[in-house]
Amino acid sequence: MIADIPSIFFKISEEILNSIKGTSYTVLIDEKFREGWIRTGVGRSYYAAFLVARKFLHLEYFTSSEVHRKVIERLSTMNPSLADKLRTLRDLRNDADYDMVKRPNEKDLEYAVILSKDVIEQIISRSQ
């Protein structure tokens, strides 16, 4: 894992998941804030993978909201399966951030962490 903001974001999402599971106590998960922590963890999982992909694709200079679509489109020309994983992560993040009717749970966060780790590891292996 690269030592920068994406790796910090990934570690935050992983620590939130482990704290919710009770295998770590880095983050104090008060039950009334559990859903908020899950939503935060999903978001950090997406942004960890997105930022690694954006750097890999040399799109750091794009800062508008369109960059999310552009990264996925460009990634799909290289590796459609990887682009689908990043797209799924983005959908999970959008649901977590904007859809207050959907109630993300521990399994959603765990899935986001797994997808994020996979996307990051595949991109890092391609860039070496």
**Residue 123: strand, helix, or coil:** helix
pLDDT < 50 positions in the chain: 1-2
**Residue 20: strand, helix, or coil:** helix
- Tokens matching residue 91: 């959908």
Closest CA to 90 of 50, 40, 36, 39: 50
- What pLDDT, on the 0 to 100 scale, is given for residue 1? 45
Q: What residue type is assigned to position 124 of the chain?
A: I
- What pLDDT, on the 0 to 100 scale, is given for residue 26? 75
CATH number of 5-126: 1.20.120
Task: Note the pLDDT tens digit of each residue in 66-96.
Answer: 999 999 999 999 999 999 999 999 999 999 9
- What pLDDT, on the 0 to 100 scale, is given for residue 43? 98
**Residue 3: strand, helix, or coil:** coil
Instruction: Give the dihedral of Cα atoms 88, 62, 79, 106; nearest 10 deg.
Output: -20
**Residue 57: strand, helix, or coil:** coil
- What pLDDT, on the 0 to 100 scale, is given for residue 63? 82
